[in-house]
Structure formats: structure tokens, C-alpha cells
């Protein structure tokens, strides 16, 4: 069963359990609500591979959040899940495709270090502003770190708390490095308590006119390829890669298909459209960028696929796609081919 159909079946099941879940959350029946949510998360294992958490918040709204982490395959799917959510649910529920800032997890976050418990207010963030790359380099201090010898554990704890209070989007878009420190940095000009860091980040983005993002799936990275030894064969001719899924591209360059296999297990497929460059200069890059945008505008509203970047080669241009419904994608692609004047082909990565 393809990814889109799995999502549709999930929402059908969710709506059948909705009234019971809402009543359990509204009346504080924790055992019953936890059982229902646990069963939903079992179903999600083969759909998006990440759990969700649900709360009845203080404003009287039900709120659902998919806890994706940085995994782009998971994020593409949870974004589609939000897009395909039943209209009657969207009208009454808040649905987050990834962790927002100050979620319920942040409010309830407690870290026990030895015999002491620490909350977000016990963490101080020191940061350096990198205007060249438009990112922040962060050092995190907690009094309890002095009792932890494992540096990797301290860094993981710091990154975890940053994710809770910044949310997945700003963490990915703004934080270039994270270091845990055992003592406050006396020479740092920029610092604040962790619960105030999100506001500082937003102020920096606005004041310095950094690019703003709406979703972590729209954060593009660019990579120049070493052209030494390259040739005109398919995918061997690439000079520049732009992508929203850096891990996927790094794996493909190393002939590693873990992300492709993972997406296939979830009912999806990674692949690429390609065509011969019409020009031998920078015009080809502009045409590729325009093509990607137009194809995405065609595919995304249909909830069958999305573009995720691509590449420019000496002979070919490439547009990478994440496909949720292969049969529907094939129909749309055939129709698109009949309306353009050049040969546009598709190749799944797992069939190269």
C-alpha cells in the first residue's frame, strides 16, 4: 500500500476513535487517553515512523504534534499527513507536522542529573552570531553538567533542550553548532536563559534580515561537486546539488540507499526527473529552478509527490522528487510530458 493510502487509512481510523479520545482528554482520564494514543503510535510506525503526542491545552483546544526530529523522510510524510487530515478535524484541532517552539514537551521537560532535577529555566544559552552564513553557534550551560563526565551525553542533552524550546524549524534553520559547557562563558556578549532564546533568535532573524522559513522541509543546502574525473553519463555529470535532504544526497554519492529503502518501507519512493540541458551556461540553472517550482506546484496540491531539490550537470538537469503515490504520479507525469517540448524522464534511485 502506498504512502498516501496508508495516511488516508490512518485518518479514517483516527476519526472513528476521535470522540472517545477527546472525552478521555477533556475529562482527565489519563490511562484511557494514553492507551488510545499508544495504539495510534503503533499504527504510525509503518506510516511515518515517528510518534505523535496529543494534549488538551489550557485554551480549550486539542493539539496533535508529530515528533519527527530532523529526519527528512519523516518530515515529508508528516507534512502530507497534515495536508490530508479531514477538514472537520482541522477545524477543531491544532495539527503540528513537527515540534513547534514551547510545546507541551518543553513545558513539562525535566532532566534529572544525579539527585537534582533541572528545567529549562536552569539552562543558559551563550551564542555567537555568524552573519556570513546566517547561523548561530551555541554553547549551553547547566549547573548539573559539572556532575557529568561524558561530553557527548552533555551535548545530546543540550541539543534536546534546544529542540524543545526552539522547535524543529528554528533549530535546523539557525543552529550551526552546539557545545555543552561546565561553566558560564564570562566573555560572551550574547546570552539568555533557554526559555528566552526563541525570542532572541526571532529578533536576530528580523533585525539582520535573514531568510525566514515556514517549514524545515523548505531549507535548502547547496553542494559543489568535485568535477575531476566527471563525465557526461547520467548522475556522473553533476556540478552542483541543491537539496532539502542532505542525508539522502550524501548517501547516494556513496552508493548508500538506506534512506531510499526506509522511504520504500513507508510506501514512498525517491527518484529524479531529468532532461538534457538546453543551454551551456547559467540559463540552464535558472530553467531547472523554474521547472522544479512549477512541477512542485502541480504535484503538492494533489498530495501525490513533492520536489526536494535537484542538480545541474554538464549534460543533464535533475529534479529530485519524493513520491507518495506512484500510480498517480505516473499519470500526472505522462500528462506533463504531452504538454512540454522536450524529453522529460523519470528514474527511481533504487532502480539505477
Q: What is the largest CA-CA distance in the chain?
A: 70
pLDDT at 283: 87
pLDDT at 102: 87
Q: Indicate the pTM of the whole model.
A: 0.94
Q: Residue 30, Cβ neighbours under 10 Å: how many?
A: 10
User: Which stretches of the chain drop beneath a pLDDT of 50?
Assistant: none
- Contacts of residue 73, Cβ cutoff 8 Å, sequence gap at least 6: 49, 245, 248, 259, 262, 263, 266, 268, 322
Instruction: Kindly state the cell numbers that stand for 347.
Output: 528514474
**SS3 track for the chain:** CCHHHHHHHHHHHHHHHHHHHHHHHHCCCHHHHHHHHHHHHHHHCCCCCCCEEEEECCCCCEEEEECCCCCHHHHHHHHHHHHHCCHHHHCCEEEECCCCCCCHHHHCCCEEECCEEECHHHCEEEEEEECCCCEEEEEEECHHHHHCCCHHHHHHHHHHHHHHHHCHHHHHHHEEEEEEECCCCCCCCCEEEHHHHHHHHHHHHHHCCCCCCCCHHHCCEEEECCCCCCCCCCCCCEEEEEECCHHHHHHHHCCCCHHHHHHHHCCCEEEEEEEECCCCCCHHHHHHHHHHHHHHHHHHHHCCEEEEEEEEECCEEEEEEEECCHHHHHHHHHHHHCCCCCCCEEEEHHHC
Angle formed at CA 148 by CA 135 and CA 157, multiple of 5 degrees: 35
pLDDT at 229: 52
* Whether the Cβ atoms of residue 72 and residue 217 lie closer than 8 Å to each other: yes
Amino acid at each position: 500500500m502506498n504512502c498516501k493510502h496508508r495516511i488516508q487509512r490512518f485518518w479514517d481510523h483516527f476519526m472513528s476513535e476521535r470522540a472517545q479520545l477527546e472525552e478521555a482528554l477533556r475529562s482527565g482520564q489519563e490511562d484511557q487517553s494514553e492507551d488510545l494514543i499508544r495504539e495510534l503510535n503503533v499504527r504510525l510506525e509503518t506510516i511515518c515512523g515517528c510518534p505523535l503526542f496529543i494534549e488538551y491545552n489550557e485554551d480549550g483546544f486539542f493539539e496533535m504534534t508529530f515528533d519527527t526530529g530532523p529526519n527528512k523522510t519523516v518530515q515529508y510524510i508528516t507534512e502530507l499527513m497534515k495536508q490530508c487530515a479531514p477538514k472537520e478535524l482541522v477545524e477543531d484541532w491544532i495539527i503540528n507536522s513537527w515540534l513547534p517552539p514551547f510545546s507541551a514537551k518543553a513545558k513539562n521537560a525535566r532532566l534529572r542529573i544525579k539527585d537534582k532535577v533541572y528545567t529549562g529555566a536552569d539552562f543558559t544559552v551563550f551564542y555567537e552570531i555568524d552573519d556570513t552564513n546566517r547561523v548561530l553557534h551555541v554553547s549551553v550551560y547547566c549547573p548539573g553538567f559539572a556532575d557529568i563526565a561524558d561530553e557527548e551525553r552533555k551535548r545530546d542533552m543540550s541539543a534536546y533542550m534546544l529542540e524543545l524550546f526552539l522547535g524543529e524549524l528554528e533549530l535546523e534553520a539557525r543552529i550551526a553548532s552546539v557545545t555543552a559547557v561546565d561553566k558560564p562563558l564570562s566573555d560572551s556578549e550574547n546570552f539568555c536563559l533557554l526559555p528566552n532564546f526563541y525570542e532572541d533568535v526571532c529578533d536576530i532573524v528580523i533585525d539582520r534580515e535573514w531568510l525566514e522559513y515556514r517549514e524545515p522541509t523548505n531549507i535548502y543546502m547547496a553542494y559543489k561537486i568535485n568535477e575531476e574525473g566527471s563525465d557526461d553519463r547520467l548522475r556522473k555529470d553533476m556540478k552542483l546539488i541543491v537539496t532539502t535532504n542532505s542525508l539522502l544526497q550524501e548517501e547516494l554519492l556513496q552508493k548508500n540507499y538506506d534512506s531510499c529503502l526506509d522511504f520504500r518501507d513507508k510506501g514512498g519512493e525517491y527518484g529524479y526527473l531529468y532532461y538534457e540541458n538546453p543551454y551551456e551556461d547559467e540559463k540552464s540553472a535558472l530553467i531547472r529552478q523554474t521547472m522544479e517550482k512549477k512541477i512542485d506546484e502541480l504535484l503538492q496540491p494533489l498530495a501525490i509527490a513533492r520536489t526536494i531539490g535537484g542538480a545541474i550537470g554538464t549534460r543533464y538537469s535533475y529534479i529530485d522528487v519524493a513520491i507518495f503515490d506512484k500510480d498517480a504520479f505516473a499519470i500526472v507525469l505522462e500528462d506533463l510530458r504531452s504538454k512540454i517540448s522536450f524529453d522529460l524522464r523519470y528514474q527511481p534511485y533504487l532502480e539505477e
